[in-house]
Amino acid sequence: MSRPSQGLAVAVGLRASFPPPSSSAQAASPLLQLPVELLSVILPRLDTRDLARLAATCLLLWRGAPTPPPLARDIGPVETELRRRAEARFLDVGSSLPAGATSWVACLLKRDRRDAQMRQAPLAAGSTRSIFVDKEGRLLTCGIDFVGNRIMGHAEDPDADLYAPRVIGPPTPVRSMQDRRIVSVATSALHCLALGAEGEVYSWGRGDFGSLVPSRIESLSRVERIAAGSNWKSAAVDEDGRLFTWGKASLFEEEDSDAEQEEFDSPSGLGYELDVETEYQTSPKRVDALLQDRVVGVAFGYGFTLAVTDAGVVFSFGSCREGGLGRGSLEIEVLPRKIEALAQTGQRFVNVAAGHRHALALTEGGEVYGWGHGEANGHGCEERTPQRVAALIGQRVKVVGTGSSSSYAVTEKGKLFTWGVLACGHGYVLDRGVRRTQATPKREEALVGARIAAVAMGIWHTLAADEDGVVWAVGKRQVLGIGGPNPEDEEGGPVRTPIPIPTLRVRVLLSP
């Protein structure tokens, strides 16, 4: 049963305990027959879209509750619940409506939806795998596991040839996680993370550094956000806004990176000092330099890290080989430091993303700033300090993200824009194995009829979920879970025009 159906069932069940209202207007909604005390039990169980629908049912739900100080007006149960959620997450609501807003309910619904959307990702794309969270909260994976790189999360068949690639498809539930409810996933080239509904974190990955099947990280609890990056880097942000990181302490190129393999003594962006002889930070460690800030988002680039706080400030730390720190120089920053160029815009930032050598930041008003190396920054040239992406001016963007050398933006109307080095399978690519560079954001015309809610970019494929939970996919067939059992079998070539992955519906957070 869906959440709105559950909420309505509770309301109808309680309805018999109270006399019918004399007002025909109130009779139109079973929930209006309940005392505010009972509404306060029902409303927290609804997600943002359910609350929006409830508020639209009757204007009486917008007002009528006691006035909480310091407000000098009456507010309704829906606004009361939205304010409670914001307070619980330490979100700064403010004392006056933002410019252009006409309703606190609408404004708070938008804020709650955006915060939830930043926290939860129903799909992730690795180099040769795809990971999903379906509508029931199940963890599913598909793709290709190679020798020494079994990171799909499925237990190994005892009779299988451990030295042969293994193809998993279609998207298959991870058996060891069948009794867990998952809300978010993340992956790098070599490891994966999953966030449970109760705030627990599971990890799995390459056999020489971690479990081959998901295992819970016992030291983490009440987590709201997760991130995975190169060098086995991982991050978790708990409900108090504390940032934890772990992974490889030095910087190196991963095996399936496009660049030549190199070794450096520079820090890999964990956010704290480590002993020079420490190769790995094997357990989550708190980033104490950000203890005075409440972190609400984190992203890993190659050797550098971005973090955004609830105050809308963006910090960066780690190596700065291609200007990824956004400071205009290539100096290394071991500890987090504010990106002054973004602070000087006077904007409040709500989302960050980082690729191999580029980065993006999104403002509360839907403006996108990009910097770093290559066309994936949105400018068509290298920018060592953040600059607004001109091609997206006029588009109210609600979320940004990156692949290794590519980027995307999704607008409030569900339009998908992509740019950068777009791998085989994108709409811009005509021939198998050919990569093409799209220097500035361009709308994915093949998805014009779909309202996109979530996106994930891998090296050889892209996934885009619409508001119905349908996953549209382009790229290598085996990685998408729609190819044959042979890793080399690409009958018909890669998928170049987005097609839905059969029978799969992911859990998406909808716009109110």
413 torsion bin: left (phi>0), alpha (psi -120 to 50), beta (else): alpha
Q: Is residue 74 part of a domain?
A: yes
Q: With beta carbons less than 8 A apart as the criterion, state whether 401 and 455 touch.
A: yes
- Residue whose C-alpha is closest to residue 389's, from 411, 410, 367, 404: 367
- Residue 76 and residue 139 share a domain: no
pLDDT over threshold 50, residue 330? yes
- Residue 25 and residue 155 share a domain: no
Q: Is residue 510 part of a domain?
A: no
How large a percentage of the chain has pLDDT more than 70? 74
- Asked which of 97-101, 197-201, 475-479, 484-488 is least confident by mean pLDDT, the reply is 484-488
**Element holding 343 (H helix, E strand):** helix 340-343
pLDDT over threshold 70, residue 11? no
- The residue range of the domain holding 481 is 117-505
pLDDT over threshold 90, residue 421? no
- Residue whose C-alpha is closest to residue 98's, from 88, 90, 108: 108
- Residue 147 and residue 80 share a domain: no
- Residue 122 and residue 78 share a domain: no
* Residues 118-134, mean pLDDT to the nearest whole number: 89
Q: Is residue 377 part of a domain?
A: yes
For residue 351, give Cα distances in angstroms to 195, 388, 409, 435, 463.
19, 14, 11, 28, 20
pLDDT over threshold 80, residue 133? yes
- The CATH number given to whatever domain includes residue 254 is 2.130.10.30
Model pLDDT for residues 58-84, shown as the tens digit of each residue: 555 554 444 444 444 567 777 888 888
Give the integer Cα–Cα distance in Å for 167 and 231.
Answer: 25
- Residue 139 and residue 211 share a domain: yes
pLDDT over threshold 60, residue 23? no
**Three-state secondary-structure class, residue 408:** strand
Per-residue pLDDT band at 355 (split at 50, 70, 90): very high
Which has the higher per-residue pLDDT, 100 or 177?
177
Position 262 scores a pLDDT of 44
pTM, full prediction: 0.79
Per-residue pLDDT band at 96 (split at 50, 70, 90): confident
**Among 40-44, 316-320, 414-418, 486-490, which range has the highest average pLDDT?**
414-418
Model pLDDT for residues 202-259, shown as the tens digit of each residue: 999 875 455 678 999 999 999 999 999 987 899 999 988 999 999 988 655 444 444 4
Q: Is residue 298 part of a domain?
A: yes
Which has the higher per-residue pLDDT, 442 or 1?
442
**Among 147-161, 319-333, 383-397, which range has the highest average pLDDT?**
383-397
Out of 88, 104, 130, a domain closes at 88
SS3 content of the chain, % helix, strand, coil (to 5): 20, 35, 45
Q: Is residue 317 part of a domain?
A: yes
pLDDT over threshold 70, residue 409? yes
Q: Which residues pair with 280 in a beta bridge?
A: 248
Position 64 scores a pLDDT of 43
Out of 71, 88, 105, a domain closes at 88
* Residues 342-354, mean pLDDT to the nearest whole number: 95
Mean pLDDT, the chain, integer: 80
**Three-state secondary-structure class, residue 400:** strand
Q: Is residue 331 part of a domain?
A: yes
Give the integer Cα–Cα distance in Å for 130 and 139.
Answer: 11
**Three-state secondary-structure class, residue 285:** strand
- Asked which of 18-22, 165-169, 191-195, 306-310 is least confident by mean pLDDT, the reply is 18-22
Position 193 scores a pLDDT of 96
Which has the higher per-residue pLDDT, 240 or 29?
240
Overall domain count for the chain: 2
- Residue 321 and residue 240 share a domain: yes
DSSP string for residues in 80-131: HHHHHHHHHTT----SSPPTT---HHHHHHHHHHHHHHHH--SEEE-SSEEE
- Residue 161 and residue 83 share a domain: no
Token pair in block for residue 295? 């972190």
Q: Is residue 296 part of a domain?
A: yes
pLDDT over threshold 90, residue 346? yes
Per-residue pLDDT band at 325 (split at 50, 70, 90): very high
* Residues 434-450, mean pLDDT to the nearest whole number: 84
- Residue 240 and residue 139 share a domain: yes
- Residue 144 and residue 9 share a domain: no
Model pLDDT for residues 455-475, shown as the tens digit of each residue: 999 988 999 999 899 999 998
- Residue 494 and residue 419 share a domain: yes
- Residue 357 and residue 234 share a domain: yes
Give the integer Cα–Cα distance in Å for 324 and 302.
Answer: 9
Q: 3-state SS string over 170-181?
A: EEEECHHHCCCC
Burial of 463 (0-12, 13-18, 19+ CB in 10 A): buried
* Residues 289-299, mean pLDDT to the nearest whole number: 95
Position 279 scores a pLDDT of 82
Q: Is residue 381 part of a domain?
A: yes
What's 65's DSSP letter? Answer: B
**Element holding 167 (H helix, E strand):** strand 166-173
Per-residue pLDDT band at 379 (split at 50, 70, 90): very high
- Residue 140 and residue 80 share a domain: no
Per-residue pLDDT band at 512 (split at 50, 70, 90): very low
